[in-house]
Amino acid sequence: MASKAHPLFSAIPHFLTWRSLSFRTVCCGRMGFASQSQQQRDPTDAISGRTKVLESFKEEFEIGSRLITLETGKIARFANGAAVLGMEETKVLSTVTSAKGDAVCSDFLPLTVDYQEKQFAQGVIPSTFMRREGAPKERELLCGRIIDRPIRPLFPSGFYHEVQVMASVLSSDGKQDPGVMAANATSAALMLSDIPWGGPIGVIRIGRVDGQFVVNPTMDELNLSDLNLVYACTREKTLMIDVQACEITEKDLEAGLRLAHPEAVKFLEPQIRLAAKAGKLKKEYKLSMLSDSTMEKVTKLAEAPIEAVFTDHSYGKFERGEALDKITKDVEKVFEEECDEEGLKVLPKAVDRVRKKVVRRRIIAEGLRVDGRRLDEVRPLYCESRYLPILHGSSIFSRGDTQVLCTVTLGAPGEAQRLDSLVGPPTKRFMLHYSFPPFSINEVGKRGGLNRREVGHGTLAEKALLAVLPSEDEFPYTVRVTSEVMASDGSTSMATVCGGSMALMDAGIPINAHVAGVSVGLVSETDPTTGAIIDYRILTDILGLEDHLGDMDFKIAGTRKGITAIQLDIKPAGIPLDIICESLEHARKGRLQILEHMESEINAPRIKDDANSPRLVILKYTNDALRRLIGPLGASKKKIEEETGARISVGDGTLTILAKNQAVMEKVQEKVDFTLGREIEIGGMYKGVVTSVKEYGAFVEFNGGQQGLLHISELSHDPVSRVSDVVSVGQRISLVCIGQDVRGNIKLSLKATMPRPKAEAQNGNSVPSLDPVSPVGEVPKTWHETPNSTSNTSPVDTSVGSEVNRTSSIPSILIRSAEDCDEEDKKSADMNVKLKDTRKSNANSRSERKSKPLAQNGPSNNEVDVESPINARNLKLGVRVRAKVYQIRARGLVLDLGEGLRGMYKFEGDNRSNFEVGDELHVQCSSFSSKGIPVMSLVANE
């Protein structure tokens, strides 16, 4: 050790550096003999005297078929206590430190628990702008609470020194949840430190897959589990319970708790052995204890007035608080007159202890509560749904003086919350945000960022309601529930569960059943010498004061079938598991009372067809079409969202549109259809823009850039002399598609959108009425899949509360794409259809042709007669049909095949004079043009 590099060690006797004597190196922090493992690791080279040897201690044990390692001494050696817990490839470090000196806080334990998951644990660089972790995320706050809740009750009474716990994930394989591992590592670190603490504790997670309990389940197993139970305990008593379940029965939950306790106890012995090897002696800290003389004086002055206040059941929360404050001030005056400085410092705590003694004695001895209720009685309830009709869903829930206002907001699937955590799902589509403003308890305060208590209460209610939420396939919305606490007198988180359940039903969300929650308390009497509970009372629906002065706050939420969420917080150093299991039945009875009141207000999801109901439509398009919709850098998509206020999200071949109401949905669908287009249909109504005006009509751009001709004869039912008198360039108009000419041009009509004149209707000379489909942008009641569509093939209308199974018809498709026609040609290529040249000779007179039947012979194998009506779907090669001459052109005929479908017949030779408009012909489909127009040939008469 003595060298130029370490001049301070030059005075150490030389024999202390002899390895043959097996002395421990100085740099390990202790003087003594080195371990055998260390001797084997020490190098024998010439520079071994300059090498620091880190002495570490390690324990290995197995729980739930998984090997767990617990070690200390290798890293974080300057911390008061440090431990690394590993399970497979996941390792978590937990350190504890305490403030130096005798400075203490006057009336509470300033314990801070910080849990952090850094992205380096999985070899990832953070995606934030600064490329480093920012403020604590919700999961980190929740894991910090999992650590805090079981360790806090085990600090000795009167220990008010500042303590800080810092847990961080060193590496993660994504299989194990590091939160539970951090709680066990924290217990080991406290055991290794010199901080007085009544541990160790064990924390275990239990799942249930296919009816079988699983100890320490992996994340994949947890996804399949209907139970997520986190259990913390000492060797004999329960410290903390946290449950998320899918309506598990009280009996099954009790079985899970009975299994969890012995499994959690397996963590204790390795910690005790590790502390025996490397732990520090517990330091003597100054405790803030109340003297017996002070307690006797305060009891004599305040006990009788306090008991009088608690006996009077007419007091409300604030009236009772004002009366108790007045008693405290009267006692303070007496202490000031006697100049008792020491008593004045601890007076608030002493008065509070007298209050606790009075309340607990009356409950244990007389079974009387502060507000005069029975031990199993629930406070008066008030429920109201649809308090704010303009919102998607809302409700008010009151239980006694506790009141919450809950609202529901529905969003698109793309608005799901993204979770940057090491384990678990990447997104969350159901969110519940709990807010506890200062006015709810008549105080002045500031509103900041994420609050640990608000995050914890909101997550508890979120887990309770998640069990009844429909699946994403059944209900693709993103759901946000907000709970605003309007007044607080205990158990606001359970009131949030009740109010949130009612708001979900008010929003029309098809939840399975109502969820209600109630908080159960405990008041116990213990043996002063052993600390064992000799008598106790279980309280249903506790007040805020009973929570403060009692032993536990056991929050249980569920449906009529079973439990969905639990959170247990206790104040003493553990409660027997038998009492915990007994409390489950008390909570079940109270929960059923609350469910009856909620079901009397609203007992089924509300069917909402009003204008304020949100609309969500999922459409299918080709990826090329979606790229056109998004535009460069998403400019087109953002423009539509800004103009309409709707939310658009694009997936692989899917387009999801979420609109605030029906009017917004029509507006955004109009813009999407104008950009992408839709399948053109006879009678379909479209909105377009006039691009040019000619003498014979106007050209209109519509349906995603397609051009159509609006002939002058289709402008109005009345004669029109000039096209410009009716339409102008740039004008937006609604038109109806009435057909297609022989050249494939789309024919549009403006007069088809106008009412017919009465005179024409009476004379029967009006244009045949069309039954146009809904205008572009209207959400149809039922969508039908189009076989040859390249755009929206199977949209889904999931409007909240609307019926989606009504039937409606869609007109026949007019235009068949070239790809569709080519496909038809390929299918029929091997049919070897031999078409006959059936043209009549010029010598035959028209009268003779009309007098004979048109087709007496039956169709051949590949030639089928099709009776009317015929449309583009059932018209195939070789199909025979009766047609009428619609127009006579220079090179052929335009044939009316029925149902608005047009075909063409090309002249062969000079036979134009043989036909007149209105002639009836027997024709056969011989081919299709490049634009999908059927080309017909005449069928010979026998």
Q: pLDDT digit string (tens) for 869-884?
A: 676 666 777 788 888 8
For residue 195, give Cα distances in angstroms to 19, 161, 275, 582, 638.
35, 10, 13, 35, 58
Domain count along the chain: 6
What pLDDT is attached to residue 817? 38
Q: Is the pLDDT of residue 39 over 50?
A: no
Residues 488, 541 share a domain: yes
Indicate the range of 82-96, 276-290, 482-496, 814-828 predicted with least confidence: 814-828
Residues 452 and 358 in one domain: no
Shared domain check, 578 and 463: yes
pLDDT of residue 105: 54
Tell me what pLDDT residue 861 has. 40
The Cα 293–Cα 285 span in angstroms is: 22
- Domain end, chosen from 226, 249, 278, is at 278
Report the percentage of the chain scoring pLDDT > 90: 40
**What pLDDT, on a 0 to 100 scale, did the predictor assign at position 563?**
96
| pLDDT value at residue 887 | 81
Per-residue model confidence (pLDDT) at position 557: 96
What's the CA gap between 815 and 158, in Å, rounded?
Answer: 86
Average pLDDT, the chain: 80
> Are residues 163 and 213 both part of a single domain?
yes
Average pLDDT over residues 452-469: 94
Percentage of residues of the chain with pLDDT beyond 70: 79
pLDDT digit string, tens, across residues 244-286: 999 999 999 999 999 999 999 999 999 999 999 999 999 888 8
Please give the Cα distance from 18 to 58 (Å, whole number): 26
Place of tokens 């100085």: 26
Q: State the burial class of residue 275 (Cβ atoms within 10 Å of its Cβ: 0-12, 13-18, 19+).
A: buried
Looking at residue 21, its pLDDT comes to 45
In a domain? residue 608: no
Residue 885 has pLDDT above 80, yes or no: yes
pLDDT band at 53 (very low <50, low <70, confident <90, very high): low
Q: Which of 753, 780, 810 is the last residue of a domain?
A: 753
Burial class of residue 367, CB neighbours in 10 A (0-12, 13-18, 19+)? exposed
287 lies in some domain: no
Q: Is the pLDDT of residue 464 over 90?
A: yes
Q: Does residue 553 sit within a domain?
A: yes
Q: Is the pLDDT of residue 31 over 60?
A: no
Q: Is 611 a residue whose pLDDT tops 70?
A: no
Q: Report, as an integer, the average pLDDT of 504-518.
A: 93
Under 8 Å between Cβ of 274 and 594: no
Q: Residue 768 pLDDT more than 50?
A: no
Residue 36 in this model has a pLDDT that exceeds 60: no
The answer to the question of residue 517 being in a domain is: yes
* Residue 92 clears pLDDT 90, i.e. is over it: yes
pLDDT of residue 102: 65
pLDDT at 159 over 70: yes
Burial 167-204 (b: 16+ CB within 10 A, else e): bbbbebbebbbbbbbbbbbbbbbbbbbbbbbebbbbbb
Residues 843-869: pLDDT tens digits?
A: 343 344 333 333 333 444 444 555 546
The 163-171 sheet, strands edge to edge: 57-63, 66-72, 81-87, 90-98, 163-171, 111-116
The verdict on 118 and 249 lying in the same domain is yes
Whether 85 is in a domain gets the answer yes
The answer to whether residue 869 sits within a structural domain is no
Q: Are residues 306 and 340 in the same domain?
A: yes
Q: Is the pLDDT of residue 776 over 50?
A: no
Q: For 529-568, write each residue's pLDDT tens digit.
A: 888 889 999 999 999 889 988 999 999 999 999 999 999 9
Tell me what pLDDT residue 670 has.
83
In-domain check, residue 250: yes
**Same domain for 273 and 316:** no
pLDDT the model gives residue 38 = 44
pLDDT higher than 80, residue 400: yes
Domain that holds residue 274: 57-127+135-278
* 537 in the same domain as 414: yes
pLDDT in tens, 814-827: 433 334 434 444 44
The answer to whether residue 19 scores a pLDDT higher than 70 is no
Residue 598 has phi, psi (to 5 degrees) of -65, -40
Of 316-330, 496-510, 549-563, give the lowest mean pLDDT range. 316-330
Report whether 172 contacts 122 (CB < 8 A): yes
Res. 173: pLDDT tops 80: yes
Q: Per-residue pLDDT averaged across 612-635, rounded?
A: 84
The CATH number of whichever domain residue 361 belongs to comes to 1.10.10.400
Mean pLDDT of 134-145: 91
Judge if 150 and 202 occupy the same domain. Answer: yes
- Any idea what the CATH number is for the domain that residue 410 is in? 3.30.230.70
Highest mean pLDDT among 15-19, 434-438, 619-623, 631-635: 434-438
User: What pLDDT was estimated at residue 150?
Assistant: 95
Is the pLDDT at 8 greater than 80? The verdict is: no
Instruction: Report the C-alpha gap between 612 and 616 in whole angstroms.
Output: 13
CATH classification of the domain holding 746: 2.40.50.140
Task: Return the pLDDT at 527.
Answer: 86
Q: Are residues 230 and 110 in the same domain?
A: yes
Boundary of a domain, candidates 753, 781, 813 = 753
Is residue 311 very low, low, confident or very high in pLDDT (cuts 50, 70, 90)? confident
Distance CA 30, CA 495 (A): 56
DSSP state letters, 141-205: HHHHHHHHHHHGGGSPTT----EEEEEEEEE--SSS-HHHHHHHHHHHHHHHSSS------EEEE
Assign 237 a pLDDT band (cuts: 50, 70, 90). very high
Residue 528 above 60 pLDDT?
yes
- CATH number at 620 reads 3.30.1370.10
Using pLDDT thresholds of 50, 70 and 90, give the confidence band for residue 679: low
In the predicted model, is pLDDT for residue 655 greater than 60?
Answer: yes
Q: Region 46-61: what's the mean pLDDT?
A: 69
Per-residue confidence at 911, pLDDT binned at 50, 70, 90? Answer: low
Specify the pLDDT at position 933: 76
The predicted pLDDT at position 413 comes to 83
Same domain assignment for residues 497 and 429: yes
Residue 810: the pLDDT is 32
Q: Does 716 lie in the same domain as 568?
A: no
Within a domain: 843: no
User: 672 falls in which pLDDT band (50, 70, 90)?
Assistant: confident
